[in-house]
Amino acid sequence: MLKLSLVPSQSKMSAQFPPPHASISVEELAQRLHSGATEALQLIDVRELAEIAIAFIPGFDILPLSQFNQWAEQITTRFDPHQETLVLCHHGVRSAQMCQWLIAQGFTNVKNITGGIDAYANECDRAIALY
């Protein structure tokens, strides 16, 4: 598994100490998804493709961390750095790393989904498989 701490820009990230990222609960995410209020959201899932095959939430763009070198350079052209961006992983650790990296890239409205898809499956949608 590739960790963001191994990417070339890590030394810049450490030196800049980006501000802490905000978070969103899985319950709030579920409310927003079910209300249809997602057109203003950028949804990013950083889990690996094998994890996505087991469990996923429709509407998320998949950016596996192991493929970081393939998508990192286009992040500010693929996504609007000022639009609300919610980041998901399995438990919330990798997505927290991604949030910090996005902030270092100039993103201004980034939120980590607390507890990840595991919490979402347990608390909001039991139809999603646990792993």
**Closest Cα partner for 116 from 69, 54, 70, 66?**
54
Q: Contact at 8 Å (CB) between 108 and 42? A: no
Check 13, 46, 55, 89 and give the catalytic one: 89
Residue 7 tokens, joined = 């990417």
Classify 86 as helix, strand or coil: strand
The answer to whether residue 99 is catalytic is: no
Give me the active site residues, please.
Answer: 89
